[in-house]
Structure 1
Amino acid sequence: MHVSADQDKCCGAGQCVLLAPEVFDQREEDGIVTVLDPEPPGQLHDVAREAAAVCPTSAISIRE
């Protein structure tokens, strides 16, 4: 799995960080998503997928 985020699409809702804080964070200055672990271990795959699914702007992409 490879996780990426389009920072231009991100609205800073933070749902990804709440679901998968091991994978995502938000920039201090504006709340825009950053990917902490673009290739998370298997035990985080489900929460990374869920974070992508709930993103209101579809800013998170998952490549299997």
Structure 2
Amino acid sequence: MSDPSEREERIRELAHRIWESEGRPQGQQMRHWQMATRLIEASERAEEERKRDHDRPEDDGD
């Protein structure tokens, strides 16, 4: 993902869903933001690996 504003919006939305899933606790904004950031980063890494693996030539077994 190349657009920082799009990435930040994804993090914001995920942090909000985490907050809601935990019963909307007060004072946990930073923890939810950090958790969402780590999840988005992991998702981006996995997508990069999938693309890299897809672009790699297949081994024909020789």
> Does the TM-score normalized on the shorter chain lie above 0.5?
no
1 or 2, which has the higher helix percentage?
Answer: 2
Q: Which has the higher contact order (CA 8 A, sep 6+)?
A: 1
Which one has a bigger Cα radius of gyration? 2
TM-score, normalized by length of structure 2?
Answer: 0.32
1 or 2, which has the higher strand percentage?
Answer: 1
